[in-house]
Structure 1
Amino acid sequence: MKIVKKQIRSLLFVFVLLLNSCSANELKIVLEKKSRTEIVIPVEPSSLERKSAFILQDYLKRMTGVTVDILSTPSGTKAHVFFIGNSLFNSAVSNAALLGREGFEVRVQGENIYLRGGSGKGLLYGVYELIEKQFGARKYDQGAAWVLQRENLTLPKDLLMRYEPPLIYRESYYPSSMDAEYLDLHHLHRFEDLWGLWGHSFFKIIPPDRYFTAHPEYFAWTNGRRQASQLCLTNPEVEKIAIGYFKDVIADNPDAMYWSIAPMDGRGYCTCDRCAKVDQEEGGAQGTLIRFVNRVASHFPKQIFTTLAYGYTAEAPKRTKPRENVYVMLSTIDVTRQQAIATNPTAADFRRQLQQWSKLTANLFVWDYTTQFTAYLNPFPMYDQYHDNIAYMYRNGIKGIFEHGSGTTLSDMSAYASYLQAKSLWNPTIDPNRVSKDFFEGYYGSASRAVQRYVEQLIEARKTHHAVLDIYGNPITDRKGYLNEKEMSGYRKTLNAARAEVAHDPLLANRVNTLLLGWEYATLEQAKTYGSHPLGFLKQVSEGKWQVDPMWAGRIDHFVDDVLKAGGRELAEVNGSLEEYRNRWLDIMRRPYGGSAILGKIPTFKPRYLEDYVANGDRTLSDGLFGDTDYSYNWLLFNDGHVELVFPLQGEQTASRVKLNFLFDPVHYLFLPKEIQVEASVDGKIYQDIGMQRVAENIPTDNSAKVHTVSIALSQKKMRYLRVQIRFPKDLPDWFEGARRRKPLLAIDEVSME
């Protein structure tokens, strides 16, 4: 190992040396690169016992270069023996039956070391705890584990490690946890391994494409008709089909621990007379859900069923308690991430729901969210909350936690998030500062101080600018806050300093460069709204005429390639592939910029646009930039059914055409206008109609977001003022299947005049 790497991990090196200093109070496992020990497993070992022995053997060899033999009985030629598993030798020392399923015990007694585990993976976890805690190995991400090589290896004679994890389900869903050894070493689970049926499962149990045509009564009555949005949970045939389904799938997968019965991700729950009666008794649609799950679960008392307290089922029912074999998984989806769950005002409903459910059952899990799903790489500084939120949930009786990160794709600080979450899930009472220090020093080496400073800068900026960290946010939302021009410049300087520290080490340099991808992503996204600003992607070539900066295409290509090399596959949960990202930029760069007679002319608005999404403010509709399918980029939003825009012109003009862009996105309650009236005036007081167009309402084949351009031919009149009257529906269309508690919105982008 290079000297510099030894220096990078100097604290850990000293720690391990102290552990292995020669003393009468220590067992000398390996002395001067010679083995003084052997590993003994039962004569007929289980697969877990065999695996645990091989892992211990492998790490001993990687640390010392010595191969320790694995035997079924002690040879009598070694000073010490590792006894692994439920052998007769171990039975005389400790009773494994006292250990919980995932509990373990590592005990030095006399001259030997005894490792025992519960009925699950406890033995394997004990081996890894020994390797990590006593021998100093680390596995910081999905790459190779790090070990300190040495000639001598010892263990304290009074060593006793015994632990049972308080959380029975522990998942941190990040790229690191796609690595099998990372999962085992950090004692994490995967829902694929534990659940026979996971998540939003209604339509896996009763698929609409199989049943809806012949039996629409199996599905939800909503908005006056049967729809394949959810199931009708009071229909006895639905219950029979569900019971039959679980008989088959449980027989096919008897080792699965959990089975999900949960609504689809969306609303549209059943409001038929039977369901409505139950829901009225229970205080909401959670009533029919819990009663249905209970009825199905009663037929399978040896299985555990899970369901979701999420969206319209988040509240606890007033009367019905979940059965003993029913676990409820609460969701934090409505919680923003600028403060910890324990104190965050946006978590007040979650805290109340947790208390209410706790009165009904002790079997509670939480589905928590720890990434920005619309912008995985965007800096998302909730770093100081990973541990605190897990500790809060543990203190409040939660038995299992799913930390929903970016899954298989790279995201902001994903290696750190996964590492700290894993340690906190295994032991919610750990000191997070100690774990963080260990991670940064081991993972970033001599760049650790600069990287920690980068993290601190982001947290400080989050607090200073009172940022709202929305899991569905983006870099645009905070370009005047913690991602403003000044702050972004500071982050770049710090990351450049980190990169300079490790320029000599390809592995560490790559890790720092991966952090820089988050900064670059935010910069590229913000450029879409900066236009010809120095941080934008346009250059002015003449009055009212711009072109794309020639270097921009290369910059996009370089970014996409670097993300791929770093393990990124998607930039967002929906429509986030790297190919789509590149193609969206290609579309942006192909557009003509300039040429409108009202370019740069700031209109008056009646009424004003909604303040939640201000884009480029009053300049948005004539700044030459075009919005994409994300309503928070270059779109102004309006409500109340009518918008009036008045553009002042430069001198007296005539025009032949006006174009307007609208965003159709029913998922976010954005609909098209009904009618657009264009008017001209010379004095700003008296207006004449010069063009009008009605927009036909068509029932969409899907609810995906689309940009809709309306082009209106004008009768040419001299004018100094252009007025555009836009009328849109005040009520949701009949075909809309979502919640009807909100009113329609209108999103307008660029208005141009030729």
Structure 2
Amino acid sequence: MKTRIYQDGKSIRIRVASDATPQETCAAQELGSYLERMTSAAFDAAEADYDGPVIAIGRAAERYGVSFDGGDDDFLLKTVGENLCIAGGKRGVIYGVYEVLERLGCRFFTATCEKVPFADELVLEELDEAHSPDFTYREHNYYEPRVYAKFAVKSRLNGQQHPISEKYGGHIQYSWFVHSFENIVSPEEYGETHPEYFAMDKEGVRMLTPYKNQLCLSNPELVPIAVAAVRKNLTEHPEAEIVSISQNDWSLDCQCPECRRINEEEGASSGTLIRFVNAVAEELEPEFPRVTFDTLAYQYTRSAPKVRPRHNVCVRLCSIECCFAHAFEECSRERNMAFVKDIRDWHGTGAQLYIWDYTTCFNYYPTPHPNWRSLQPNMRLFRENGAKGVFEQACGALRGSTDLNELRAYLISKLLWDADTDVDRHMEEFTDYYYGEGGKYIRQYIRLLCDTARKEDDHVGFNDKPLHRFLDEAYLDQYDTLLSQAREAVKDDAIRLWRVEKARLSIRYVRLMRGFLLKQELPKEELNRFFSDWESFGLTRMEEWCSPNTTRKALLRGKPVGAMLYSYWADEGPEEL
């Protein structure tokens, strides 16, 4: 039977249990708020003795014979007579409400762009569905979900980057997050007295520079030190569900004889790492039985060893070396083929596997990143190889950037929930609403960008200079033509014109940078105008580490990346593949 939510001027009631959880109450409030926006009619709560049709939220569904027994993010939708029951976990019950609203035509594109259609009537077909995510841990670091908690919930994200209050279901609490060796055993504390705690380079030198070091994981004295440090951290952060025991962000595989012997025995440089993390996790499990001990499979530790990670150890496999213009399984680049082998090997160990993936060019944020067609096949690869969680490291600039990042963030959020989702439909819905009449030209631009990168057989890494063939001047002219057509289509629509002009900044940026990199040209007037326009759109960083002022300082001093002015990066700057 259909649920008549609003028909003939009559509104359905919304029921919550007398002992409703904060999340169930929140879900009911959100549902009522949006239904009232859609109809301009009042939607009231059902009193205890009300026996008419209702939408029953959470525990109230038990009154209609519907019970829920699932995870925090799971939910079910079930029609019982004229009633609709929405039940779920502490986040799932809220997700269920947003799912119903989407069935009724709502869309939550960005924190400041929602489609809430007006309706003379709202009738929902009979439902009997159970929903659960493909990945239990879902996270990206585009700025809006980090700043707007309700938008993170609407996007069904639940990771550390999204500070979601308990009212909205909370988030998975992470402690130390990543690159935590420096927190566990630092050279400032132990360097002088115990240099043997730190990794040895190929010349036999123990590396003690802050952050540019690793640990000598075969040293048995490190395990009790690490246990004490992690215990202290977890005691100070009892909310933590995951704690990171992971290498620093510096590539240095210890070359001491014992580390080399263990890694040779294990068949991979991750051998000493997994043995070490296993030992810490085993020691602390009785005290913290619900905590997962997380580590990285990153750069020199990316390949799987013979030793099996413990059941309470999580391995985050990182794709940092890969080409992102092609799906990992479709790319001819050796690095991609090696990554595919690694994910399959880790899956074969039975590891609790998470993924750390990359979705932008970190040195040159505004550069068009032709990864649109690789997002879904890569997400399916993760799922099919047992990944339980995915973090998509993105443009983390406050107030965002260009390169259609609002659209990319929307699609990634959808894929993190369902790797088989209809990406083309989501892209069309987003672009038609967000860019209005310019949406079709934005889609043409994306298609041309990806087609050109494939035609030119460009392989695009996470930090590449904007010098690929798909960014040659003739192609930039074609991209600019399409974006100019989008601008013309919305010239009388101020909001959408603003959005299109913001997107056009990417092409302007690439022209500026290519002139600088290829010809050492830096037209001063255009440089001034571009930076002024960039700031006028409320944008901040153009690269991962620096403010626009630092980027401009670097350009005026002959360096393309502001981070090259930092002593940490010396003369080379961040790695470029």
3-state SS of paired residue (1:145): strand
Q: CA deviation at 1:54?
A: 1.2
Structure 1 position 381 matched with structure 2 position 357? no
Structure 1 position 47 matched with structure 2 position 31? no
Deviates more, 1:139-148 or 1:287-296: 139-148
Question: For residues 166-204 of structure 1, what are the alpha-carbon distances to aligned partners after superposition, in whole Å with 9 as ceiling and x for unaligned?
Answer: 211112321233232221112112234431221111112
Change (3 A) 1:300 1:72: farther
Count of aligned residue pairs for this structure pair: 551
Change (3 A) 1:74 1:341: farther
Q: CA deviation at 1:701?
A: 6.9
Question: For residues 702-737 of structure 1, what are the alpha-carbon distances to aligned partners after superposition, in whole Å with 9 as ceiling and x for unaligned?
Answer: 542289xxxxxxxxxxxxxxxxxxxxxxxxxxxxxx
* Counterparts of residues 620-631 of structure 1 (less than 5 Å): 627-628=558-559
Structure 1 position 484 matched with structure 2 position 487? no
3-state SS of paired residue (2:207): strand
Aligned to 2:68: 96
Q: CA deviation at 1:496?
A: 0.7
- Give 1 or 2: higher strand fraction: 1
Residue 152 (structure 1) aligned to one of 104, 107, 121:
121
Q: CA deviation at 1:35?
A: 4.4
**In structure 2, C-alpha distance between the alignment counterparts of 1:530 and 1:240, rounded to whole Å:** 53
Question: For residues 235-271 of structure 1, what are the alpha-carbon distances to aligned partners after superposition, in whole Å with 9 as ceiling and x for unaligned?
Answer: 3332112212222222332332211111111123333
Q: In structure 2, give the amino acid aligned to 1:583.
A: K
Residue 364 (structure 1) aligned to one of 342, 353, 360:
353
CA contact (8 A) 2:215 2:254 kept: yes
Q: Which has the larger radius of gyration?
A: 1
Residue 175 (structure 1) aligned to one of 131, 143, 154:
143
- Give 1 or 2: higher helix fraction: 2
Aligned to 2:501: 513
CA contact (8 A) 1:117 1:126 kept: yes
Change (3 A) 1:433 1:167: same
Aligned to 1:430: 421
Structure 1 position 184 matched with structure 2 position 153? yes
Q: CA deviation at 1:210?
A: 2.6
Structure 1 position 418 matched with structure 2 position 409? yes
**In structure 1, C-alpha distance between the alignment counterparts of 2:454 and 2:293, rounded to whole Å:** 41
Aligned to 1:454: 445
Aligned to 1:725: none
* Counterparts of residues 645-684 of structure 1 (less than 5 Å): none
Question: For residues 217-245 of structure 1, what are the alpha-carbon distances to aligned partners after superposition, in whole Å with 9 as ceiling and x for unaligned?
Answer: 32223332322311122333321122122
Structure 1 residues not aligned, in runs of 5+: 1-24, 538-548, 589-626, 632-663, 668-699, 708-737, 740-754
Aligned to 2:33: 58
* Counterparts of residues 731-746 of structure 1 (less than 5 Å): none
Structure 1 position 211 matched with structure 2 position 190? yes
Change (3 A) 1:702 1:406: closer
Aligned to 2:79: 108
Question: For residues 420-443 of structure 1, what are the alpha-carbon distances to aligned partners after superposition, in whole Å with 9 as ceiling and x for unaligned?
Answer: 111111111122222222222222
3-state SS of paired residue (1:214): coil
3-state SS of paired residue (2:214): strand
Structure 1 position 165 matched with structure 2 position 119? no
Q: In structure 1, give the amino acid aligned to 2:258.
A: R
Q: In structure 1, give the amino acid aligned to 2:479.
A: Y
CA contact (8 A) 1:387 1:420 kept: no
CA contact (8 A) 2:5 2:122 kept: yes
Give % identity: 29
Structure 1 position 327 matched with structure 2 position 303? no
* Counterparts of residues 308-347 of structure 1 (less than 5 Å): 308-318=296-306, 320-346=307-333, 347=336
Question: For residues 22-68 of structure 1, what are the alpha-carbon distances to aligned partners after superposition, in whole Å with 9 as ceiling and x for unaligned?
Answer: xxx53332235x44222221213222112111111111121112232
CA contact (8 A) 1:175 1:414 kept: no
Q: CA deviation at 1:531?
A: 5.1
Structure 1 position 280 matched with structure 2 position 253? no
Q: CA deviation at 1:362?
A: 4.3
Residue 379 (structure 2) aligned to one of 375, 384, 390:
390
Q: In structure 1, give the amino acid aligned to 2:127.
A: L
Q: CA deviation at 1:277?
A: 2.6
CA contact (8 A) 1:175 1:410 kept: no
3-state SS of paired residue (1:298): helix
Structure 1 position 579 matched with structure 2 position 536? no
Change (3 A) 1:294 1:169: same
**In structure 1, C-alpha distance between the alignment counterparts of 2:387 and 2:264, rounded to whole Å:** 28
**In structure 1, C-alpha distance between the alignment counterparts of 2:394 and 2:550, rounded to whole Å:** 21
Q: In structure 2, give the amino acid aligned to 1:106.
A: L
Residue 80 (structure 1) aligned to one of 53, 70, 84:
53
Q: In structure 1, give the amino acid aligned to 2:528.
A: D
CA contact (8 A) 2:476 2:507 kept: yes
3-state SS of paired residue (2:183): helix
**In structure 1, C-alpha distance between the alignment counterparts of 2:572 and 2:300, rounded to whole Å:** 28
TM (normalized to structure 2)?
Answer: 0.89
Aligned to 2:488: 500
Change (3 A) 1:141 1:557: farther
**In structure 2, C-alpha distance between the alignment counterparts of 1:322 and 1:584, rounded to whole Å:** 44
Structure 1 position 122 matched with structure 2 position 92? yes
Aligned to 1:724: none
3-state SS of paired residue (1:419): helix
**In structure 1, C-alpha distance between the alignment counterparts of 2:567 and 2:84, rounded to whole Å:** 66
Change (3 A) 1:92 1:245: farther
Change (3 A) 1:241 1:530: closer
Q: CA deviation at 1:530?
A: 6.1
Residue 399 (structure 1) aligned to one of 388, 396, 399:
388
**In structure 2, C-alpha distance between the alignment counterparts of 1:72 and 1:43, rounded to whole Å:** 10
Q: In structure 2, give the amino acid aligned to 1:83.
A: A
Structure 1 position 38 matched with structure 2 position 13? yes
Structure 1 position 199 matched with structure 2 position 172? no
Q: In structure 1, give the amino acid aligned to 2:353.
A: L
**In structure 2, C-alpha distance between the alignment counterparts of 1:416 and 1:164, rounded to whole Å:** 23
**In structure 1, C-alpha distance between the alignment counterparts of 2:254 and 2:313, rounded to whole Å:** 22
Change (3 A) 1:350 1:177: same
3-state SS of paired residue (1:384): coil
Aligned to 2:165: none
Bigger relative contact order (CA 8 A; separation at least 6): 2
CA contact (8 A) 1:142 1:175 kept: no
Structure 2 residues not aligned, in runs of 5+: 162-170
**In structure 1, C-alpha distance between the alignment counterparts of 2:437 and 2:370, rounded to whole Å:** 22
**In structure 2, C-alpha distance between the alignment counterparts of 1:361 and 1:421, rounded to whole Å:** 26
Q: In structure 1, give the amino acid aligned to 2:68.
A: A
**What's the Cα RMSD here?**
2.6
Structure 1 position 290 matched with structure 2 position 274? yes
CA contact (8 A) 1:41 1:73 kept: no
Q: CA deviation at 1:337?
A: 1.9
* Counterparts of residues 454-603 of structure 1 (less than 5 Å): 454-475=445-466, 477-478=467-468, 481-529=469-517, 537=522, 552-553=524-525, 555-574=526-545, 576-585=546-555, 587=556
3-state SS of paired residue (1:299): helix
Aligned to 2:205: 225
Q: In structure 1, give the amino acid aligned to 2:192.
A: T
Residue 349 (structure 1) aligned to one of 338, 342, 348:
338
Aligned to 2:164: none
Structure 1 position 131 matched with structure 2 position 101? yes
Question: For residues 261-287 of structure 1, what are the alpha-carbon distances to aligned partners after superposition, in whole Å with 9 as ceiling and x for unaligned?
Answer: 111111233333432332221123311
